Structure 1
Amino acid sequence: MRVAFLTAPEGVEQVELTEPWQAVVDAGHEPVLVSTKPGRIQAFHHLDKADTFPVQEVVGEASAGSFDGLVLPGGVANPDFLRMDPEAVAFVKGFFEAGRPVAAICHAPWTLIEADVVRGRVLTSWPSLRTDLRNAGATWVDEQVKVCDHAPSKLVTSRKPGDLKAFCATLLEVFAEEKEKQAA
């Protein structure tokens, strides 16, 4: 499977990028770092700068159809930057339109709200997004990981870095199930 990881140039929570990335690699799949600009992205450990990572594809040149799934890491700044970028929002929306699975953790559902893909869905997030999600038509739950099977795309969400083990295991399971369905 080819899995897109969408991040802004600055502000991604490093562990929310690196742990799902490693899970995808360990499962024998190909993760691809997609961003709004070429070059490198800056990751953070909360508010402190951490590592940088090379961008492999630019969102304006990438297509949801060339991937089997999408992972949206959190951090406060990352989804805030992404939701202000029309090409990033269109890229995210493209996964839902194509029926491809999406996984989002922590603050990442802000980008989903901007893409107008949460209405009628049940999901979780960092607790401060609860009202934003409800106002966008979603049902918010306080669970470690939540899978919403609302057609056409499955959505996996988690609340925080402490949920990463369950988040990674669940996204791999859901992505594999969806890939099998597409192949059949």
Structure 2
Amino acid sequence: MSNQLEGKKIAFLATDGFEQVELTEPWSAIKDAGANVELVSIESGKIQGVHHEKQGDKFDVDKTLSEVAASDYHGLVLPGGVFNPDALRVNENAVGFVRDFFNQKKPVAAICHGPWLLVEADVVKGRKVTSWPSVSTDLKNAGANWVDEEVVCDNGLVTSRKPDDLDAFCKKAIEEFAEGKHDGQVADCETDAQCADSQATQGSC
């Protein structure tokens, strides 16, 4: 166990249908790095994990979206799974919670189908990202520069494609959470000039 994230508090946002390993592996890695981790969801109780199409385990929710704010945390993790981000992206509180991390310039890590939430929060314009391939068109349509790479980091936004990428994903997420705020981590550009300035400064971390 390291103390790389000692004093940091990291939120995991998920609901029923999340890909279990995409929560449990980052959870363990980030916790082992010294962070306090909390599972945030739409409702209290337990949420259902999955192993692809098969049912997995149930996990206790620590806080509901109505009980938290992005200001409570130093970073955010968005696991994938098809049903999980699809349900979250139609929930206004979930989308607002994600967007607020970018407004507050805090690091965010999303894997597999998790970047669907980034599209809904309108935070990928001009950013280099990756995801599960079926999400690529949505990301491109939202203005992202989609690439097929193991892990991508753009000003505090860490993205990966699939469970096979988890080692690289966890390592880069921990690095970004340890680094803290990123000046380029903004939710949206108010003017074309701001967008141009933001894009000019964005790149690898």
TM-score bucket (shorter structure): over 0.9
| Number of the residue aligned with 2:175 | 173
Q: Pick one of 80, 94, 99 that aligns with 1:93.
A: 99
Q: State the identity as a percent.
A: 57
8 Å Cα contact 1:60/1:88 also seen in 2: no
Count matched residues: 176
Which whole-Å CA distance do the structure 2 matches of 1:86 and 1:98 have between them? 18
Partner of residue 14, structure 2: 7
Deviations 1:119-175 (A, max 9, x none): 1111000011111101001000000000011xxxx1000000000000000000111
Aligned counterparts of 1:129 and 1:69: Cα–Cα separation in 2: 23
Residue 59 of structure 1 aligns with which residue? 65
2:81 is the counterpart of 1:75: yes
Q: For 2:77, what is the secondary structure of its paired residue?
A: strand
Runs of 4+ in 1 over 2 A off after TM superposition: none
Relative to the length of structure 1, the TM-score reads 0.93
The answer for the alignment partner of 2:146 in structure 1 is 140
Q: For the aligned residues, what is the CA RMSD?
A: 1.3
Unaligned 5+ runs, structure 2: 1-7, 184-205
| SS of equivalent residue, structure 1 residue 142 | coil
> How far does residue 61 in structure 1 lie from its aligned partner after superposition?
1.9
One-letter amino acid matched to 1:131: T
Give the CA deviation at 1:179.
6.2
Q: Which amino acid aligns with 2:64?
A: V
- TM-score scaled by structure 2? 0.84
Equivalence for 1:31: 37
